[in-house]
Structure 1
Amino acid sequence: MLPAGSRLHTSEQFAAVVRRGSRSAAPRLVVHLLTEHRPGPPADPRVGFVVSGKVGNAVVRHRITRRLRALVRPRLAELPPGTDVVVRALPAAAAASSAELGVDLASALAGALRRARRAPGAARPAGVRR
């Protein structure tokens, strides 16, 4: 389990990251990353997971979520303060090993960070789609 301060909790938080964040895809997952600074003192990075019914039944979805949570936990310290991340599993994640998910997570997270740094302050206003 991730600490409460390191998790996204509400649908509004998830929606903000997905709508305004940088996106990077890998074969088995997609990472959305938003580096906007939240009001107040520097906050820890937060992460949320989206594993839809298309990935598999409840047992498969929870297994994928547990694997992703274990893979993300050590990477939280590498993220800039105030960063929010949404990791969305694709159906191919159901057949993937933890090692394959780890490679995809590292690749997609690096790509999203690269895109976020390349265009600082270029976040889209709310309601604007790609």
Structure 2
Amino acid sequence: MVHLLPRDRDRDPDAPAPPLVGFIVARTVGNAVVRNTTRRRLRHLVRPHLDRLPAGSLLVVRANPPAGTARPDDLAADLESALDRLLRPASKGRR
């Protein structure tokens, strides 16, 4: 699950702020080793997509319990699909 939030730039509106990414990996994903491994895998998978995010935005990636046992290519496909849905322009007929 991913959420994107644009940030207000009160301090210096002319300076381009990089996007920030946070990860939520709960205990339901697994023990500490599994959670840290999942967080590292997600961080590695998000890195190439940072240029797609709006400047100054906040992205939160929440790992669901199956993420702890997911194969790397499945995790990458799920993340890419979620980012594509999130960054797709909204159609005029949908709200």
Q: TM-score range by the shorter chain?
A: 0.7 to 0.9
User: 1:105 is matched with which residue?
Assistant: 79
Rounded to whole Å, the distance in 2 between the matches of 1:37 and 1:70 is 27
In 2, Cα distance between the equivalents of 1:53 and 1:70? 21
Match of residue 33, structure 2, among 54, 59, 63:
59
TM superposition score normalised by structure 1: 0.63
Unmatched 5+ stretches in structure 2: none
What stretches of structure 1 of length at least 5 have no aligned partner? 1-29, 120-130
Separation (CA, whole Å) in 2 of partners of 1:105 and 1:69? 11
| Cross-structure match for 1:71 | 45
- The structural deviation recorded for 1:58 is 0.1
> Amino acid of the residue matched to residue 62 of structure 2?
R
Distance between the aligned counterparts of 2:75 and 2:36, measured in 1? 14
Following TM superposition, by how much is the alpha carbon of 1:77 offset from its aligned partner in structure 2, in angstroms?
1.4
Letter paired with 1:32: H
SS at match of 2:30: coil
How much has 1:113 moved relative to structure 2? Answer: 1.6
Deviations 1:8-65 (A, max 9, x none): xxxxxxxxxxxxxxxxxxxxxx001112443322200110000000110000000000
Q: Percent identity?
A: 52
Of 72, 80, 90, which residue of structure 1 is paired with 2:54? 80
Query: RMSD in angstroms over aligned alpha carbons?
Result: 1.5
Structure 1 partner of 2:19: 45
